[in-house]
Amino acid sequence: MMRTILSGDMPRSLLLSLALLAILVALAFAPFLFPGSRSLNVAVKICIFIAVVASYDLLLGYTGIVSFAQTMFFGIGSYGVAIAIANLDASWGSIALGLVAALVVSMVLAGLIGLFSLRVRAIFFAMITLAVASAFAILASQLSSITGGEDGLNYSVPAMLRPSFHLFDGTVLGIDISGRVITYYIVFVVSLLLFLMLLRLVNSPFGRVLLAIRENAFRAEALGYRTVVYRTLANCLSAAVATVGGALLAIWLRHTGPDTTLSFDIMLDILLMLVIGGMGTMYGAVVGATVFLIAQNYLQDAMAAASQATASVPIVSHLLHPDRWLLWLGVLFILSIYFFPTGIVGRLRSLSEWRAQKRPLASTRAR
């Protein structure tokens, strides 16, 4: 059963399996395990970015495409839902209309970018996607009558998703089943389905062709595969998942702006999550997003506690000051790259394979 759900792509490491199970359980019961608004907000972002990072892994890890347009598609999904709700009404129909319109725009843009740019070398394609994403961010900031400009858009959501809504009287494990909890589980379920869909995709014949293109595009072309078509399809599928991720964030935040969805910093975060977790594994998106977002949101608190504990040691106390959290986040990233060059998932899998190879040798020697 589990093998079927995971499309035959098992973690292949006991430690990785335990880590993935712990993340799944923590996210599935987050409203009950971590009831605070801040912790629930972190859990929502982890869910969303697992799907978005996995969609970027489809491009970079499995197809070998370096793109900087992922945040553009992420922003299109967020703005599509926000504009529809702001101009129509706070209904499910408006959300559906905004999401469909955003998906159409994303697919068209991804298709055009793919068809016109994927024939060029990788570095030129990366620069083209960066230019298009930057132009879209500037456009969103300047079209204030539609997008709200730099301030973005504030809007309401359907009554069932509002914090004041209660599904029934009473509590479950001490927690009110409010609109906020319902919204969380919508985000969780949709993100989980998106991840499982991508996992199935990369383990299908289509995914095998993408891997062949990544390893040697000329050989794949010689075997009869139209590499531009496959790359364009991968680009469109990745864009669609990122668009849905942006729509989920818009529903959760009830605010959309350039800084929350279109910032290039978000693109860098996605890249860091993928590198930390492990490219070309899909599971790397789960581990990388979880580790990075927890560090990003709680490293300052940990440093504040450490700074107070070492107040008697002036130099150490200053180095551990919360204002220097970005410095230590960078140090942690460098250390993770040094000790886990193939990402956390790749390292755990290689360690498990090494142990599996060592067991037969040890039994042979014992004989």
CATH number of the domain enclosing 103: 1.10.3470
State mean pLDDT over 291-319: 82
Q: Which pLDDT value is given to residue 59?
A: 92
Q: Is the pLDDT of residue 117 over 70?
A: no
The rounded distance, in Å, linking the Cα atoms of 27 and 52 is 16
Report how far apart, in Å, the C-alpha atoms of 293 and of each of 12, 158, 228, 257, 336 are: 25, 28, 34, 20, 15
Q: Length of the chain in residues, anyone?
A: 367
Q: Is the pLDDT of residue 366 over 80?
A: no
Q: Which pLDDT value is given to residue 355?
A: 78
Contact 245, 228 (CB under 8 A): no
Structure tokens at 17: 């399996």
Q: Percent of the chain having pLDDT more than 90? A: 45
Task: Give the structural domain span for 162.
Answer: 2-366
pLDDT band at 95 (very low <50, low <70, confident <90, very high): very high
Least confident of 103-112, 176-185, 325-334: 325-334
Query: Comparing 214 with 329, which gets the higher pLDDT?
Result: 214
Report how far apart, in Å, the C-alpha atoms of 333 and of each of 245, 275, 341 are: 25, 9, 11
Partner residues linked to 153 by β-bridges? 256
Q: Which pLDDT value is given to residue 222?
A: 87
Q: Which pLDDT value is given to residue 283?
A: 93
pLDDT band at 27 (very low <50, low <70, confident <90, very high): very high
State mean pLDDT over 18-40: 91
Q: Which pLDDT value is given to residue 121?
A: 65
Q: Which pLDDT value is given to residue 154?
A: 92
Partner residues linked to 255 by β-bridges? 154
Look up tokens 């589980």; give the residue. 185
How many domains does the chain divide into? 1
Structure tokens at 152: 């973005």
Report how far apart, in Å, the C-alpha atoms of 35 and of each of 27, 251, 296, 336 are: 12, 19, 19, 30
Q: Is the pLDDT of residue 262 over 70?
A: yes
Q: Percent of the chain having pLDDT more than 70? A: 96
Whether the CA torsion 172, 174, 179, 183 is positive or negative: it is negative
Structure tokens at 274: 């993928």
Amino acid at 331: V
Q: What pTM value is reported for the model?
A: 0.92
Q: Which pLDDT value is given to residue 328?
A: 79
Q: Which pLDDT value is given to residue 191?
A: 96
Average pLDDT, the chain: 87
The pLDDT tens digits of the residues spanning 197-208 come to 999 999 999 999
Closest Cα to residue 110, out of 144, 177, 59? Answer: 59
The pLDDT tens digits of the residues spanning 46-94 come to 999 999 999 999 999 998 888 898 999 999 999 999 999 999 888 999 9
Classify strands 153-154 and 255-256 as parallel, antiparallel or unpaired: antiparallel
Q: Is the pLDDT of residue 347 over 70?
A: yes
